[in-house]
Chain A
Amino acid sequence: MKLKSDILVIGGGMAGLVAGIIAAESGATTLLLRKGQSATAYSSGAIDIIGYLPEATEPFSAPSEGLAAIAGLYPLHPYGVVGYGDNVAPEEVVDTIIERVRDSVVWLKDRLEGTIASVVGDFQSNFSPISILGTTKPTCLVQTTMNPGDIHEREDSVLLFAGITGYPDFNPSSASKTYLEDRIAMGQPPHKVGFCMTKIMPFGKSFNISSIEIARHLDHKGSIETLAEQIDVQVKRIGATHVAIPPVLGIRHALKSKLELEKAIGAEVFELLGFPPSIPGLRLQLALEEVYTKAGGKLLAGHEAISSSRKGKTINSILARSPRREISIDTKAIILATGKYIGGGIAGNENGIRETVFDIMTVTGEYHSAKDIVPSRVTHRLEISPMGQQIQTCGLSIDPQFRPIREDGLEWAENVFAAGAVLAGYNYSVEKSGLGVALTSGYGAAMNAVDRIKGVA
């Protein structure tokens, strides 16, 4: 089978879908190959832009503050690269980065408006949503269903953590203790926190209940009422102004569930940031796919790019494989958004670290070749610390147009652009910058790809 596209996106997570939407909206014929589930679908529902500098312990109160710091200290960070271009003067680099990241954030908010993953928050400031552990983290946007509202501002706020019996991913007693101890240490509201258990039994059993089962159950009309009745009693018991529940309010109708709950119990309800399998991650994934296909993009799920053919300085065709067929795709430009180890874009073993589709040169976070690096050598003896693990910063090095580069510093191919976690030079889990870099680089790479095909055409 043979297909043709102007722009071919490889990878269907945040970076790939953002790139695909930009490409399709520009009028280019756009195809997107997706091998399996993306790391985006495992994400918590928060869209981080930048929360910390690597190794630093003071969070940024606003993304612009963090971006300025990154630009000064880590010019090769993907956010740093955003500021380069033929027409950007050196003194304009920081402002350019901030402006371009802001543009992509505004763009994303707009595209997600009205979808099942609509978001709140804005580029002006970071805020601190609560996780299922009871900890907080700085982020820029969260899904509307996860908005904790004025919980941290209202002096009289009282928070109730509501768990679900037989659903082990969230334990409200530990979370409430952790959260309250933290608030007391900071001397900030809420000054009162409680917890309760509720019963939701999608299949009539009270154990081994998964987030997917609960979310699907709550998507059904009328099923939120039994939950509302149970929570209402507990809200009255402790005088709760806010209720935190695990992120399971629904896949398609979570916002409706939230509003119904709030109306029934007279308190604000929000979902906590959770771990995989993540319903908010799934909502974000589905919402982006819908925006992409509405814009005219074509999605080939279950397809993996396995080889390519080169004509001079460009890659003009890709061979994709699914369990049932092989497709040869002729294309004018390619956006490589295959992710890192979860996504499968980067792989490593005792012989080194490599890029899996084209075998493009990989580098460490310090931009040394990662070709022969044994993974354990780029790890730190502390697993969870602000230093992070350098292995998570390995990936592709790019030029100002987001094109991966070779050993000699020149682009690997004139028409191949890269975005998201396949890129080197940022450590999203410590910086709290994951989906932000994916968004910004996907946006930037696609803009460049579009410019190129328009120029070429």
Chain B
Amino acid sequence: MTDSEYDVVVIGGGSTGTAVARDCAMRGLKTLLLERDDIASATVGTCAGMISSGLKYSDEPDIMAMCSKEVVHFNHIACHIIMKNPILAPLLELSDAASDSSYVDSYSAHAEERDVPAMLFLTPEASREIEPMLHPDIIASVYYEEFFIDPFRLCMLQALDAINHGATVRTYCEVIGFDINNNTELEGIIFYNRVSGTTERVSTKLVINATGPWAHKIAKLADEELDIRLNKGAHVILDRRVVNVGITVKAIDGRWIYLFPHENTTLLGTTALDTWEDPDSLVASFDEIEYLLQSIETILPSIRETRIIRTMAGVRPLVPEWKRPEGKVTRGYRIIDHSETGKTKGLISFTGGKLVMCRHMAEAVTDLVCKKLGKAAACTTHTQALPGNDADVDVAALSKDFGISLHALERMRARRGTEMLKVLELTKEHPEWKTTICTCEPVIEAEMRYAIREEFPQTLNDLRRRLRLGTGPCQGTFCTYKAAAILSEELDLGGDDFLVDILDFRAERWKGIRQSMRGEQLAQEELTLGMYSCVGNLDQSDVDYDIKPWEEGF
């Protein structure tokens, strides 16, 4: 077997793709992961990070049981990037509680396994003691607890762990075709390297299509039909954690929506709209933003006083069940072996699934892969920890030792667990790298340099996913140019590339800022334009800047 011959090529660097690559590599398969953009750059990067107990799917008891078990596994392998959120579902009238109360029993049945209390009903007083912003007229609330994971770090750690186990991970490599022989056996895969601008080919025995909302397009490259239901979900992102606990409410159309504290922000979501748009160009609409605000306002009347920093929109790759609302479509996943549904031997696709199931999906497909390759190897992805999960870190002591603020170190721990010690090690030789580059999050220069060296980012946007750089209220106003300079130094880029990196990141941030712009964000934008257009004169720059998909058209 030469370097360019693989047992399995995984397409897609989202939660499922990275989980599959990790599982395949851990079972000793020669594995290549191809991602056309960056790790976690699409669907998973626009989710709330909830690894759900399956509460919403109480009519699918098997799925609920599976979700609960997966939460236990994640807490075992990735506890350093997980946070538990208590959640209140306040009721304004009795009909706000679901007519069928079986969800209380089915949630509580699995609660002990996840080490959370059974579902509780709270009085209005007790509810407001937990969250004083609640509407005075609530009659009761339901209390439960869910776990949340940093979706970017999860994907990154799965990819890094796959690499640790021998896999090759290639970002910015877009699959453009398959080699299929006369016996309809898939033999090779052809992809375009977007960094070098060249086309490459590798041989492989199997291909796993984990491309989420692009799954049907990849299948089409092998002339296979794949039915999938694409559904848009948008979030409004508020500055800081403005509620003490997560809040879920019935939206104005009767769906459930939520407000979750998440990292240094609060997420308000989501909408559900069937979509046929290019996922790359989707943004939240004014109606979606109002729908979410109007809905949460019924329970949290003061929500509009918060600082709205941006929106984000993603696409759910649902199982193709039609003529029913998004909420009624199964949250299970399907593994489609195209040798059975069509003719191509060696191509396997996913539809459906949820973040919480990504490891389970990987296990199932890797079982199938091993069977096809005649390999006997058991899955260990639920027992072996992801990098950084090893032990707890005493950030208070580290803060004293290194003279770095406790808050900065706590945030770093939430991304890296014990791996943060490697970052801090860098500051011994370079104390100046203790400088805070992104003050909103915060992120210090040493972590930025470490991520550039160890986590293969190409752009500032890639660094954002690894570090939460530029995700705070200023949306990169103050860190974009500083971080671009550091990226330029580390990657030895030219002067034009430095400016392109700045423009790229501004474009990506603007994509989400623009739709919900109001209040303080107007002043923030005036400042941004004052810096980059007025002083930096970048609006007049003649560097080779590629128009982004969401910037096209009129």
Contacts and interface: CB of A to CB of B under 8 A. Distances in A.
Interface string B529-540: 111111111111
Contacts of B499: 133, 135, 178
Interface string A405-435: 0000000000000000000000011101010
B495 A180 contact: yes
Contacts of A26: none
A176 B485 CA distance: 11
Nearest to A375: B517
Contact of B507 (A165, A169, A383): A383
B178 to A, nearest CB: 35
Nearest to B487: A174
Interface stretch (A2-10, A110-118, A291-299, A385-393): A385-393
A171 B539 contact: no
Nearest to B434: A207
Nearest to A179: B495
Given A133-B499, A177-B498, A391-B525, A381 B550 contact: yes
* Central interface residue in B286, B485, B538, by most chain A CB within 10 Å: B485
Interface string B512-551: 0011111100110111111111111111110000010011
A264 interface: no
Nearest to A138: B537
B482 A384 contact: no
Task: Give the interface size bracket for A toward B.
Answer: 35 or more
Interface in A151-192: 165-169, 171, 173-182
Contacts of B360: none
Contact of B495 (A43, A48, A134, A429): A134
A275 B495 contact: no
A349 B507 contact: no
B494 interface: yes
A207 B432 contact: yes
Contacts of A384: 503, 506-507, 529, 532-533, 538-539
A425 B53 CA distance: 54
B531 A276 contact: yes
A379 interface: yes
B492 to A, nearest CB: 10
A264 B230 CA distance: 68
A242 interface: no
Contact of B539 (A134, A348, A374, A388): A388
A181 B434 contact: no
Nearest to A171: B485
Contact of B522 (A166, A385, A391): A391
B538 A341 contact: no
Contact of A131 (B503, B537, B547): B537
A181 B499 CA distance: 12
B526 A341 contact: yes
A55 B491 CA distance: 34
Contact of A42 (B481, B488, B527, B547): B527
B290 interface: yes
B534 A429 contact: yes
Task: Give the interface size bracket for B toward A.
Answer: 35 or more
A386 B432 contact: no
A209 B510 CA distance: 29
B105 interface: no
B89 to A, nearest CB: 27
A384 B545 CA distance: 11
Interface in A19-46: 39, 42-44, 46
Given A135-B499, A177-B494, A274 B529 contact: no
* Central interface residue in B304, B431, B530, B534, by most chain A CB within 10 Å: B534
A402 interface: no
Interface string B377-415: 000000000000000000000000001000000000000
Contacts of B478: 275
Given A171-B482, A342-B523, A429 B489 contact: no
A325 B488 CA distance: 52
A100 interface: no
Interface string B420-436: 00000000000111111
B535 A275 contact: yes
Contact of A273 (B431, B489, B528, B535): B535
B432 A349 contact: no
A16 B205 CA distance: 73
A382 B553 CA distance: 11
A340 B524 CA distance: 11
Nearest to B289: A350
13 contacts: A131-B535, A133-B481, A166-B435, A182-B495, A207-B431, A207-B432, A208-B434, A275-B478, A275-B481, A341-B526, A347-B519, A348-B522, A383-B506
Interface of B: 286, 289-290, 304, 403, 431-437, 445, 478, 481-482, 484-486, 488-489, 494-496, 498-499, 502-503, 506-507, 509-510, 514-519, 522-523, 525-541, 547, 550-551, 553
Given A168-B435, A381-B514, 9 more contacts: A59-B540, A131-B535, A132-B481, A169-B482, A174-B489, A208-B435, A382-B551, A384-B507, A430-B534
The 8 A-B residue pairs with the shortest CB-CB distance in the complex, in nearest-first order: A171-B485, A178-B495, A177-B495, A383-B510, A137-B537, A429-B534, A429-B533, A341-B523
